[in-house]
Copies of this chain bind each other. A is one copy, B any other.
Amino acid sequence: MSDRLDHVFAALADPTRRDLVARLARADATVGELAEPYDMSVQAVSKHVSVLERAGLVTKSKDAQRRTVRLEAEVFDLMTKWIERYRREAEARYQRLDAVLAELDEDGTPKSPTTPTTHSSEESAAKERAS
């Protein structure tokens, strides 16, 4: 399903590549221009750009000998969606748990079972979270 996300996250795990993305967000640039600031060979930067390209974060367009690199913003949505989905799920679960704990605090009897607990270790989770 998400072979794409493998490459995207892996691409952004490297600080040099994140810096490239940061700079490309401001302006397109050629490989040579991108390489200048770093204390490493042009070939190394070319490789980094290729990694970003394979991840779909960037596209290259040829202009004579130069390759102009442009940031592609769409892929960011893929990441954001993945992240936000699970962040929301986790937060929603915490709120459910807090609600349950609040009820237990009142009279000790759980009333309306909000969403049925699917996982076996949920109770111990609640116990942990109460501390």
Contacts and interface: CB of A to CB of B under 8 A. Distances in A.
B86 A83 contact: no
Interface residues of A, number: 51
Interface string A4-21: 011001101111001001
Interface of A: 2, 5-6, 9-10, 12-15, 18, 21-22, 24-30, 33, 61, 63, 68, 70-71, 73, 76-77, 79-80, 82-87, 89-91, 93-94, 117-122, 124-125, 128-129
A29 to B, nearest CB: 5
Which 9 residue pairs are nearest across A and B when measured between Cβ atoms?
A27-B119, A28-B125, A10-B13, A9-B13, A25-B89, A25-B86, A76-B87, A9-B12, A25-B90
Given A9-B9, A73-B91, 15 more contacts: A6-B15, A9-B10, A24-B90, A25-B87, A25-B90, A26-B89, A30-B121, A68-B124, A70-B129, A71-B86, A73-B90, A76-B83, A76-B84, A76-B87, A79-B79
